[in-house]
Amino acid sequence: MLDKLDVKILAALQDDASRPVAEIADEVGLSKNACWRRIKALEDDGVVSRGTARIDPSAVGLGVTVFVALRTSQHDDVWLKGFTDGLKAIPEVVEFYRLSGEVDYLLKVLVSDIEDYDRVYKRLIAVAPLTDVSSSFAMETIKATTILPLDRIPV
């Protein structure tokens, strides 16, 4: 169970995980050692999975976002294992969800242009039998964040 100090630490880490522990400790009102122990416990408990740098896709030539809705008539474990392994091997697929409803899977794909997406599409449809593949190109990113709404956590 998280307490108020844990939530403050998580908020500080979400804001900028590269900051020194001493700076985060000052912000949340703990000693450096106590703050480090709490961060370590949050990592050990799987609450904090890892620190990463957030990179602007457009700045590295991946300015086209494609959402791909997939349907299949296959739902057995063998098919799913092959499909999952195949999609994990396509680096342009940056998010991959299994859904309820009419669409079975939803992918978020980052590419440089339409031709690049066509190359990824051909790899995608070669992974496993699919019933339908529907691609939607994002015209504008209105909101994209990895910041969780920590004020919703009961403490």
At residue 154, the pLDDT reads: 84
**Residues forming beta bridges with residue 135, ordered by sequence position:** 68
Domain ranges, residue 38: 4-53
pLDDT in tens, 94-147: 999 999 999 999 999 999 999 999 999 999 999 999 999 999 999 999 999 999
Cα separations in angstroms, 31 against 7, 91, 92: 16, 41, 42
Is residue 1 predicted with pLDDT exceeding 90? no
Same domain as 132, residue 62: yes
Split at pLDDT 50, 70, 90, the class of 91 is: very high
Same domain as 39, residue 102: no
Same domain as 37, residue 94: no
Same domain as 47, residue 76: no
CATH code, 72 = 3.30.70.920
Same domain as 87, residue 71: yes
Split at pLDDT 50, 70, 90, the class of 155 is: confident
